[in-house]
Structure 1
């Protein structure tokens, strides 16, 4: 890493100060553009985790995820995930399915409503960002594009390894 410890700390602080507000503004603006209901961030994280699993194994019977696996993946307590899934089930965003065998274990799956809302949100977020990028200089757009691989590496660097 180049630069002094103080410089690195300033960069870290600026990133921390800006990422949260940027994410919340993008989420709020995209929801408004798409006229979507307010879905809590923690529920969106569960939806994203389930969508990533479905994308990894596409098909009509794409696998769901056990609540315990979701908890591990998201770094949340099992009880928290259980409460989130219950609320999301009541909202029609997920469904639980019994796993064959003893009939006690369940997996959580996205409903068509959730898939549609995620797609609608993603389309709206893309539109919002394309519009905002159109108001920046070519130099700023290039700088953002060039920073994306570093942001992805940074994200991997702060992501805890999966539990054994």
Structure 2
């Protein structure tokens, strides 16, 4: 590893080991708390990305934004379309290009999920010590910077 010592490597490994399980547990617990159907994490990320873009997104742009292969996004969009979560809209011109948009059902599920996740985390944070809550709050800016550091630059 470039410019890291043993302690940094241990922190990196622990962080890597915990992020995925934390995210999956939060998704599962929040989904159950809100009475939502099983929504795969990848679909939640697609919904979140589309929810931030009212104009919709071309599947290729969505793949780039999420750091996923175009074929993966195509499969996700197809399954989400069948579930009534997204819709494709043809872009003017030759009719070969389309943008993907959230349906009202997806917008509502995402809102419900976000509210449930907030409630789950507020409840859990309330059971932690004040020192733990302060440590987590203080770590958020560093986690955001770390996220930017590991995010690959957009393909040109």
1:133 counterpart residue number: 125
Taking the TM superposition and a 5 Å limit, the aligned residue runs for 1:103-118 are 103-118=95-110
2:134 counterpart residue number: 142
1:45 counterpart residue number: 45
TM-score normalised according to structure 2 size: 0.95
2:23 counterpart residue number: 23
Taking the TM superposition and a 5 Å limit, the aligned residue runs for 1:65-144 are 65-144=57-136
Taking the TM superposition and a 5 Å limit, the aligned residue runs for 1:44-63 are 44-53=44-53, 62-63=54-55
SS at 2:39 equivalent: coil
Q: Do 2:84 and 2:103's aligned partners in 1 also have CA atoms closer than 8 Å?
A: yes
> Stretches of 4+ moved more than 6 A in 1?
none
Count matched residues.
154
TM-score normalised according to structure 1 size: 0.91
Unaligned runs of 5+ in 1: 54-61
Deviation at 1:68, TM superposition (A): 0.8
